[in-house]
Chain A
Amino acid sequence: MISFSVNRQRVNLDVDPSTPLLWVLRENLGLTGTKYGCGMAQCGACTVHLNGEAIRSCVAPVSRAAGKEVTTIEGLSPDLSHPLQHAWLAEDVPQCGYCQSGQLMSAAVLLREKPRPSDEDIDEAMTGNICRCGTYPRIRKAIHRAAAMMPAGGAK
């Protein structure tokens, strides 16, 4: 039995501890906003927060989450109220949308760490997240927009 918290709710699961967290989130917990793209930490579609740190859940065994806090896209905000979500709407960022959960989760950590990120900061934080539709220019704009929206001191 593995226990951890997901989006502030406690879960206890009887799963093989070597199963990647991604599949436990998607299949055991029904949180399908986190996506499978490569299975080898190459594309970032599966990005979630583990104790506030952005991780690739496709290569993280669920055992790594034991006793910790996991946040997925479903937990970013209850109502599209996160500054990044406002900015994503304003910049009309998504196309197919498949990678966007991962993009947002990576960007959320960036903004918490660097409330006024430079383009270089964005490159560094976002280069692990592939978008095949090519929304990068809009993601960059949206991150700057979200940063400008937030009070000094950063996001929650």
Chain B
Amino acid sequence: MSTLQMERRAFLKISVAASGGLLIGLYLPGASKLAAAEERSASAFMPNAFLRIGTDERVTVIVNHSEMGQGVYTALPMMLAEELDADWSKIGYESAPVDAKYNHPIFGMQITGGSSSVYSGFEQYRNAGAAARAMLIAAAAQQWNADPASLRTESGTVLDGTNRKLSYGQLAEAAAKMTPPAKVNLKDPKAFKLIGTPAKRLDTPEKINGKAVFGIDVKNAGMLTAVVARAPVFGAKVKSFDDSHARNMPGVRKIVAVPSGVAVVADSFWQAKMARDAVRIDWDEGEMHTFSTSQMMQQFREQAKSPGTSVRRDGDPDAALAKAAQKIEAVYEVPYLSHLMMEPLNCVVDLRADSCEIWTGTQFQTVDRAAAAKAAGLPNEKVQIHTTFLGGGFGRRATPQSDFVVEAVHVAKAAGVPVKVVWTREDDMQGGWYRPAFLHAIVGGVDASGNPVSWRSRLVGQSIMSGTMFEAMMMKGKEYDPASVEGVDDLPYEIPNLAVESHQAKVGVPVQWWRSVGHSHTGFATECFIDELAALGHKDPYQFRRALLTKHPRHLAVLDLAAQKAGWGKPLPKGRARGIAVHFAFESYNAQVAEVSVTDGKVRVHRIVSAVDCGHYVNPGIIAAQLEGGAIFAASAALYQELTFENGRLQQTNFHTFPVMRMNECPEIETYIVESNEKSGGIGEPGVPCTAPAIANAVFGATGKRVRKLPIRMTEAV
């Protein structure tokens, strides 16, 4: 047994829950650097987890991360239930309210992101379960007048040596009166019964009978629905508007100006939407009215010709390049992308004189609450957010500016009624906060034996962190954004002379993290270029990578596993070819092999084999699902997706102009997990970066043409 010694000032806060039963919050100081600072002020400890055990045997786990499909409402309860020895069939989940005690222990605020929910909560949720278990045992010991050490737990019951038993529900009230344990004992991982198993997701039943409540489904008494007319160009402001027709349309209650545009508040969505479309607005279009992405990319290409801020420099890449036997230069380009969650943005606000209650699917409760409080003119503690299910997130619902929440508060304030603001699909797509467009200009060379001797990556693109509250934390005075260069700044290949340079472009398009963030483009550019270097020296791309990764056993293990399972080197039907890629992101290693064919300029992906090493894992079923979904998400981007602007206006509006992979286009996907005792890594994002380069490299195998621009268009391949 490993023992977690709790510090003296740690304490368990206990109260009898309203329903009767045990409510435990485990307060564990010093769990993070940020908590340590709070601890010194003696006003707050870093709390880690909660659970509630009812007299009805229900064990409710309060989850401090948002469920957006990635499985936190299952994986986090598994960690707690493991140490509690709970009956898995009695476990439920509940979303945490906004409170500092639910802060992410690494990020110091309530946020779901960075593929970090499981690994950041691994000890916290186990600790909470173990502490509850100790108190249930103490309660049983008191009742039986027995030595607690003589008791054991099993599937939601405490048992003694004679197999006399008391259920957790029967013990809940007594356990609530027990003294919290001074220390908790965590299981040796070898003793895990639940962790490591493909336990079925707890939230499936309510997601297949229509009962799951997403933000868009929230309905409160007296609530009206609002649809907002927003700027057609980023930064545009309303000069004046004419609502003379709209305000006489059926169901319309109010039409109000808000900072983001004009909001129409009506009895129903359809009435609000119809009237919104009828409001005539004269916009001051500002500086972005001439913006065009084709011009922007041209500027990026020019910028890439001059040296950027140095991010990494090993050896002398320029001298080595001059001496290289063969060299190659490639420019990779990726576009702006929408997160395009299936559930368009929405937010319900009930604003009163001294309170503000919000219902929404958010990934960023702490920041949203502070922003909402500011907009409402209330102190933080007067604002509460109820986190619903998220119909997809992918980063869009963790907006540092809290755009969709703040706007809804403004609408509620201006209209003076409780409102649900609903974005149409078109609104959502045009709303900004995209994955930034990026350009990677890479030059490299190989020696006479085909071994790489030089590599220089020059990146041009917008910073995500710049101008946000994360700037100080993440950029630490650097002149580049780590989120722009992640995945290339730590290129693992053994290349003696290597440079990474960054140009930070200033463009008035709001950008944000999109599933796998910087890795979504650095994975593409680096894994395509390493393939190009392999071809330059007439080497097999898999073996070429292997030879450069000898000091990176975890990269090698996933690469080998993917190659082996995909049958690398074995014959394929005529017209088909394989491509390979490997990448490290969010503390996990992933390799993929894609099998494609190209017919009449159309790329068809037939099969993707994805292998991951995410360290010690909790639920292999969820891991497989995330790898499948990550590959499909990335394949959609690689094959179909791009946002373009002309005259400041977005050219795409809905699924027909920004397509998503569909059933008939979906490849067979096989996933494999490397058994590992290493520290847990992420899984929501690591399965994304390898897909585009694996497909692009397979296209080269099939056609001899290099894809250097996404989405893939064979007419642009070289």
Measuring CB to CB, which residues of chain A are less than 8 angstroms from any residue of chain B? 16, 19-20, 23, 26-28, 30-40, 42-43, 45, 72-74, 76-77, 80, 85, 88-89, 92-101, 104, 122-124, 126-140
B621 lies within 8 A of A37 (CB) = no
A36 lies within 8 A of B344 (CB) = yes
Q: How far is the CA of A73 from the CA of B340 in the complex (A)?
A: 23
In this complex, how many residues of chain B approach chain A with their Cβ under 8 Å: the count is 61
Question: In this assembly, does B245 line the interface, its C-beta being within 8 Å of a C-beta of chain A?
Answer: no
Given contacts A100-B207, A134-B633, contact A39 B425 (CB under 8 A): yes
Measuring CB to CB, which residues of chain B are less than 8 angstroms from any residue of chain A? 67-71, 198, 200-201, 203-214, 216-217, 219, 225, 250, 268-270, 340-344, 389-394, 422, 424-425, 621, 625, 628-633, 654-656, 660-664, 666, 668-669
Q: How far is the CA of A42 from the CA of B653 in the complex (A)?
A: 12
Which of B69, B340, B342 has the most A CB atoms < 10 Å from its CB? B342
Instruction: Name the CB-closest residue of B to A129.
Output: B663
Q: How far is the CA of A67 from the CA of B663 in the complex (A)?
A: 34
On chain A, the residues within 8 Å of B422 by CB distance are 36
B207 lies within 8 A of A97 (CB) = yes
B341 lies within 8 A of A95 (CB) = no
A135 lies within 8 A of B219 (CB) = no
B343 lies within 8 A of A98 (CB) = yes
Instruction: Name the CB-closest residue of A to B70.
Output: A95
B342 lies within 8 A of A89 (CB) = no
Given contacts A130-B662, A137-B669, contact A104 B391 (CB under 8 A): no
A130 lies within 8 A of B342 (CB) = yes
B268 lies within 8 A of A27 (CB) = yes
B201 lies within 8 A of A132 (CB) = no
Q: How far is the CA of A93 from the CA of B663 in the complex (A)?
A: 14
Instruction: Name the CB-closest residue of A to B391.
Output: A98
B210 lies within 8 A of A23 (CB) = no
Q: How far is the CA of A135 from the CA of B70 in the complex (A)?
A: 12
Instruction: Name the CB-closest residue of A to B671.
Output: A137
Task: For the complex formed, measure the closest distance between the CB of B346 and the CB atoms of chain A, giving whole angstroms.
Answer: 9
A33 lies within 8 A of B209 (CB) = yes
Interface pairs (24), CB distance under 8 Å: A26-B217, A27-B268, A28-B268, A32-B216, A35-B216, A37-B342, A37-B655, A40-B654, A40-B655, A43-B655, A80-B208, A89-B204, A95-B625, A96-B69, A97-B203, A97-B207, A98-B392, A101-B210, A123-B663, A123-B664, A132-B660, A133-B392, A137-B669, A138-B625
Selected contact of B656 from candidates A31, A35, A42, A94, CB within 8 Å? A42
A92 lies within 8 A of B208 (CB) = no
A23 lies within 8 A of B214 (CB) = no
On chain A, the residues within 8 Å of B621 by CB distance are 92
B630 lies within 8 A of A134 (CB) = yes
A32 lies within 8 A of B204 (CB) = no
Instruction: Name the CB-closest residue of B to A104.
Output: B208
Task: For the complex formed, measure the closest distance between the CB of B653 and the CB atoms of chain A, giving whole angstroms.
Answer: 9
Q: How far is the CA of A104 from the CA of B213 in the complex (A)?
A: 17
On chain B, the residues within 8 Å of A43 by CB distance are 342, 655
Q: How far is the CA of A72 from the CA of B425 in the complex (A)?
A: 22
Task: For the complex formed, measure the closest distance between the CB of B362 and the CB atoms of chain A, giving whole angstroms.
Answer: 14
Instruction: Name the CB-closest residue of A to B210.
Output: A33
Q: How far is the CA of A35 from the CA of B468 in the complex (A)?
A: 33
B389 lies within 8 A of A97 (CB) = yes
A39 lies within 8 A of B208 (CB) = no
Instruction: Name the CB-closest residue of B to A94.
Output: B207
Instruction: Name the CB-closest residue of A to B211.
Output: A33
Task: For the complex formed, measure the closest distance between the CB of A80 and the CB atoms of chain B, giving whole angstroms.
Answer: 6
Task: For the complex formed, measure the closest distance between the CB of A33 and the CB atoms of chain B, giving whole angstroms.
Answer: 2
On chain A, the residues within 8 Å of B205 by CB distance are 80, 89
Selected contact of B391 from candidates A34, A85, A97, A135, CB within 8 Å? A97
Selected contact of B344 from candidates A32, A37, A124, A136, CB within 8 Å? A37
Instruction: Name the CB-closest residue of B to A101.
Output: B210
Selected contact of A127 from candidates B70, B203, B270, B664, CB within 8 Å? B664
Task: For the complex formed, measure the closest distance between the CB of A75 and the CB atoms of chain B, giving whole angstroms.
Answer: 9
Selected contact of B663 from candidates A34, A40, A42, A126, CB within 8 Å? A126
Instruction: Name the CB-closest residue of A to B342.
Output: A98
A132 lies within 8 A of B340 (CB) = yes
Q: How far is the CA of A128 from the CA of B664 in the complex (A)?
A: 9
A92 lies within 8 A of B210 (CB) = no
A134 lies within 8 A of B270 (CB) = no
Task: For the complex formed, measure the closest distance between the CB of A28 and the CB atoms of chain B, giving whole angstroms.
Answer: 8
A127 lies within 8 A of B208 (CB) = no
Q: How far is the CA of A137 from the CA of B605 in the complex (A)?
A: 14
10 shortest interchain CB distances as A-B pairs: A33-B210, A134-B632, A97-B207, A98-B391, A95-B69, A96-B69, A134-B629, A73-B210, A32-B217, A42-B655
B200 lies within 8 A of A92 (CB) = yes
Instruction: Name the CB-closest residue of B to A95.
Output: B69
Task: For the complex formed, measure the closest distance between the CB of B71 and the CB atoms of chain A, giving whole angstroms.
Answer: 7
Task: For the complex formed, measure the closest distance between the CB of B233 and the CB atoms of chain A, giving whole angstroms.
Answer: 23
Q: How far is the CA of A80 from the CA of B205 in the complex (A)?
A: 7
B663 lies within 8 A of A122 (CB) = yes
Given contacts A27-B268, A96-B68, A97-B203, contact A131 B342 (CB under 8 A): yes
Given contacts A16-B250, A123-B664, contact A92 B625 (CB under 8 A): yes
On chain A, the residues within 8 Å of B268 by CB distance are 19, 23, 27-28
Given contacts A76-B209, A134-B628, A135-B625, contact A99 B342 (CB under 8 A): yes
Q: How far is the CA of A14 from the CA of B201 in the complex (A)?
A: 41
Task: For the complex formed, measure the closest distance between the CB of B627 and the CB atoms of chain A, giving whole angstroms.
Answer: 10
On chain B, the residues within 8 Å of A122 by CB distance are 663
Q: How far is the CA of A96 from the CA of B669 in the complex (A)?
A: 19
Given contacts A96-B390, A132-B633, contact A20 B270 (CB under 8 A): yes
Q: How far is the CA of A149 from the CA of B393 in the complex (A)?
A: 34
On chain A, the residues within 8 Å of B668 by CB distance are 137
Given contacts A97-B207, A123-B663, contact A135 B629 (CB under 8 A): yes
Task: For the complex formed, measure the closest distance between the CB of A90 and the CB atoms of chain B, giving whole angstroms.
Answer: 8
B209 lies within 8 A of A74 (CB) = yes
Q: How far is the CA of A122 from the CA of B207 in the complex (A)?
A: 21
On chain B, the residues within 8 Å of A20 by CB distance are 270
Q: How far is the CA of A31 from the CA of B211 in the complex (A)?
A: 9
B210 lies within 8 A of A74 (CB) = yes
On chain A, the residues within 8 Å of B206 by CB distance are 97
Which of A35, A72, A88, A140 has the most B CB atoms < 10 Å from its CB? A35
B69 lies within 8 A of A97 (CB) = yes
Task: For the complex formed, measure the closest distance between the CB of A39 and the CB atoms of chain B, giving whole angstroms.
Answer: 6
Q: How far is the CA of A73 from the CA of B211 in the complex (A)?
A: 9
Q: How far is the CA of A27 from the CA of B273 in the complex (A)?
A: 14
On chain B, the residues within 8 Å of A45 by CB distance are 342
A94 lies within 8 A of B208 (CB) = yes
Task: For the complex formed, measure the closest distance between the CB of A2 and the CB atoms of chain B, giving whole angstroms.
Answer: 14
On chain B, the residues within 8 Å of A38 by CB distance are 425, 654-655
A137 lies within 8 A of B219 (CB) = no
Task: For the complex formed, measure the closest distance between the CB of B62 and the CB atoms of chain A, giving whole angstroms.
Answer: 20
A92 lies within 8 A of B629 (CB) = no
Instruction: Name the CB-closest residue of A to B663.
Output: A126
B208 lies within 8 A of A132 (CB) = no
B208 lies within 8 A of A134 (CB) = no
Given contacts A36-B216, A97-B203, contact A137 B666 (CB under 8 A): yes
Given contacts A80-B208, A89-B208, contact A133 B654 (CB under 8 A): no
